[in-house]
Amino acid sequence: MKKLFIVPAIALALSFTACGGSENKTETTATQETTTSVEEAPAETVPGIENVELSNTIVVEGNDQMKFNTELLRVKAGEAVELTLKNVGSLPKESMGHNFVVLKSDVDVATFASEATAASDNEYIPKTSLSSIVAHTKLLGPAEEDKITFTLEKGVYTFICSFPGHYGLMQGKIVAE
């Protein structure tokens, strides 16, 4: 008699599983479609960008601790960006000079920085890599500043200080939207 109850119970469980399984399959397909459309979005997301004020007039400071005062900038694409770099340190330019170099989005930062190390005659801006640069300031000593103006298309750009050994700590992103 127990066998008579077990067989219908198993059949009932299988029918519920089969019905539920097709619902899950539909949900999975819908999720995959949503994921596909998200992956097709061309914009690169940068964590924390929503907390950064949108401004095309920017002041960035470099200091003796090999740090910029910001690692993330947000600008309006297609409009002129006016950026002022200030060296707020006190160490001499020969040992702690700073510049601000905006690189094109497809540039390998480590390769560029390696080439820059050999360009002391041009303030660490390698002449062989000028096509990799959107804009750059001059190399600054203590209490000096330089202003540059440039325009960016929509995208994400890396900025660095190209003084030897600085790019590892002195770099960030500019998001043009």
pTM, rounded to two decimals: 0.75
Query: Average pLDDT of 8-12?
Result: 50
Pick the CATH number of 49-176 from 3.30.70.980, 2.60.40.420, 3.40.1280.10, 2.30.42.10: 2.60.40.420
Torsion angle (degrees, nearest 10) of CA 158, 164, 168, 172: -30
Residues 88-97 pLDDT 10s = 999 999 999 9
Pick from 102, 105, 110, 134: which is nearest to 43 by CA? 105
> How far is Cα 35 from Cα 23, in angstroms, rounded to an integer?
18
> How far is Cα 145 from Cα 48, in angstroms, rounded to an integer?
28
pLDDT on residue 45: 79
Query: Average pLDDT of 27-32?
Result: 35
Angle at 71 between CA 111 and CA 53, to 5 degrees: 135
In degrees and rounded to multiples of 5, residue 111 shows phi and psi of -65, -45
Residues 125-149 pLDDT 10s = 999 999 999 999 999 999 999 999 9
Domain boundaries, the chain: 1-41, 49-176
CB count, 10 Å around CB of 64?
A: 14
